[in-house]
Amino acid sequence: MIHAPISEELFQRAQHSIPGGVNSPVRAFRAVGGNPRFMVSAKGPYMYDEDGNRYLDLINSWGPMILGHAAEVVNEAVIKAIPNSLSFGAPTRKEVEIAELIVSMMPSIEKVRMVNSGTEATMSAIRVARGFTGRDKIIKFEGCYHGHGDSFLISAGSGAITLGVPDSPGVTKGTANDTLTAPYNNLEAVQTLVDANKGQIAAIILEPVAGNMGLVTPAEGFLQGLRTLCDKEGIVLIFDEVMTGFRLSAGGAQQLYGVTPDMSTMGKIIGGGMPVGAYGGKKEIMEFVAPAGPVYQAGTLSGNPIAMAAGMAMLTYLKEHPEVYTQLEQTSGNMVAGMQRNLQKLGLNYTINRVGSMFSIFFTDKPVYDFESAKTSDTALFGRYFNGMLQRGVYLAPSQYEALFVSTAVTEELVEQYVQASFEALQEAVQQ
């Protein structure tokens, strides 16, 4: 049994000075019960908390640690860059080199702008799409998360063409009125929205593989259908590849599925663990970004030299070592196969969605293809399962509606340990 009294004490302290005791809501464990563990170090496949407990990590900082924690190739690049200063506020060679590398790897990117987070990237991409098209409205999908920008914190109304309503206090009704929401994987609903708002839609933004309602894969023809519709209507198609970019393949989900958007947003892996984001796309669209064009976007720390060094090392490694993706496919496939055996032995209802090194387990007997079907999952059972795994030294995402991320540091021996721990945790969760 794992005990964490120091983490408990830190969480109590944190609540006096940090809202909810955490700096990002999901970290608070509200969806699964219990209190968060405070981490002090990580290496390879493991994280270590303040109490000295070790966890097999299947979050990997929500994706970027694709080579495991503290990968030598990234650490060495950061250590080499640090003595030259942490920030300049002026251009550097590394910014040019990583831009060229991203352009060479991501099919949709002809020009790219570096920012500091995925949220900055998506907010900026939407602004540029509006400036390029001269239109105001956007379409997003239920359950797709694009950061905490006002335009994205909108939930759908009851009808397919109902205008959005604010999903968070502080988001204005005016912003909501310009954000239309459709069910994921539903081309007909998107067509209905476009027809009802003819000539007013600037952009359609989506995760090409959704990772924020749990992992949900695009139905056959869905991405291509959006591409065709956007071409017909002069709408900018934006793929949010903050999670999937450089993880599902060296060219992201767009390369994997063979559908090229007009713009892409990126993050996570391109910083190798450092705070970073980027957005890019067709030259004629990106030429609207200041100072080349009229759409303003800026950032003092954009292109930060330490983040650029980490990202350059990570992307170069992934480009030069395609076997990374072969290994991740095999490891992740073995983990899911083991989970399926466990769930079948225990007679539990389940759906497992996986693409490459991302997967989610839903405790439901229904296929999960959008947010409504994801919500049929037994979240109470998931909470018990999560805590059972935590007690066995396996750190899962503390929410049913998040994907898991596998790293190359996970060995076959660790796969077996994960499968065994999951069987015990599931058995215990069912009996509670």
List the catalytic residue out of 240, 385, 401, 418: 240
Cα four-point dihedral sign 338, 339, 341, 345: positive
Question: How many CA within 13 A on the CB side of residue 130?
Answer: 15
| Structural tokens at position 161 | 């063409």
Contact 229, 187 (CB under 8 A): yes
What is the per-residue burial (b if ≥16 Cβ within 10 Å, else e) of 152-175?
Answer: bbbebeeebeebbebeeeebeeeb
Phi-psi region of 170 (alpha: psi -120 to 50; beta: other; left: phi over 0): left
Identity of the amino acid at 298? A
Kind plus residue range of the DSSP H or E element containing 405:
strand 404-405
- For 182, residues 6+ apart whose C-beta sits below 8 A from its C-beta are 139, 140, 141, 142, 156, 160, 189, 190, 193
Q: Where are the alpha helices (DSSP H) in 92-221?
A: 93-105, 118-133, 173-177, 187-196
Q: Say which residue the tokens 């796969």 belong to.
A: 415
262 classed as catalytic = no
> What's the Cα-to-Cα distance from 174 to each of 136, 177, 325, rounded to whole Å?
11, 5, 44
Is 319 a residue of the active site?
A: no
Query: Which phi and psi angles does 414 have, rounded to 5°?
Result: -70, -30
Does the active-site annotation cover 240?
yes
Of the residues 55, 145, 350, 395, only one is catalytic, namely 145
Active site residues per annotation = 145, 240, 268
